[in-house]
Structure 1
Amino acid sequence: MRLPLPPTQQAQGLRLLRIAAGSQWIRIHRCRHPSALHWGRHGQGRWNAPDAAFGVLYVAGDLETAFAETFGHQVMASHLPAAVKFLSRQELEERCIARLTARRDLQVLDLRGAALARLNLDAQLLSNREQLPVCQAWSSWWHDAAEEPDGLLYPSRLLPRGTNLALYERCTDAWEEECLGDLMHWPAISPEPAVLEILDAHGWGLVG
């Protein structure tokens, strides 16, 4: 089924969800980068601008979801279902965990609820990889809405119980970050699952 493109007129009347200041989100990034706060403009992100007019930062509600989003896309593209998957210690040591805290309230469009139904859309917009330009067109339409949302809240395609947040570049000044160290040495005493527990839950092996 072909996904419809957004209307030509400007979006208005969006019902936005308030995310309170102090809310915390997780991002996994390469440790060689000094900051996790990178608003990408490449063409591969589901909610990136189709013409690179604005950047988008992708964060997750918890570490397990961030892990799935970081490593799962490549696996789905290159492995058969139920194939054995491996990560090396080096790969885990090269990825750092950042906790991002909102300095102010955020206003986001919640795509987990009735927002899609109000536009006669469905979950294909959240999961279809073959029509990525259409998804990006909708993101651009929402970005330019009169309400000026800070981003999009949506379920993880790779871990459906998890929540992701795609943040538009207009809220670059709304964040504080804290580096929590690399993935390989994530402590088991943390409130988040230790990385070995995540590997086991997701069916990954560890080598090296």
Structure 2
Amino acid sequence: MLAAIWRGIGRVHLVLAALALCLTVCEPTVRRYGDKLQVALPLVAWACAATDGRGAELLGRFAGVLVVAHGTKAVLGRRPLNRRPTGGGQGFPSAHTTAAAFGASAIVHDCVAGHPVARALVVMAAGFVGGSRIEVRAHDIWQVLAGGLLGWGGDRLLRRDSALRRQIMQGIRALACRLARALRRGRATESLALPGG
């Protein structure tokens, strides 16, 4: 059903309508616009991917990117790089900007590729999210830029057809094989040691 609606009305019109609706129904403040767009952009990207049968793949990439963003915040702890302009922690990178950049990159590549005006509006929406984080003093420019790079990179570099993703998966498979061999050797050694014990 979703695919029929996408085809009937047109992806570009639906993408722009979703973004306009997002801005229309939220409280008119910079913070709220940024908060809503950081959800709307990846959601619209997922809807577009789902109509092409790639929704689960996009969702997996998005989850991985968010794990990296929030994991980095946790690992950095109290380091100055992780300090927000207001003095709080957990600032590096901006997860709002990460989500918005990921969604915008996926939309631009998959949904509105042949429409330069729509592409520009989507990129500006993601840029607005980053700007809103600076305006409300939730993040500094470096935290926002890192979030944008992480979101964009997570979409572009971790796609199913990317060389980086193939290398990562080969590394994970090799690590899993080594771990399985080590566990088998450990069990074999353990079983040999027990009877003679």
Q: Hey, which of these two has a bigger chunk of helix by percent? A: 2
Larger gyration radius, structure 1 or structure 2: 2
**Superposed pair shares fold, TM > 0.5:** no
TM-score (norm 2): 0.25
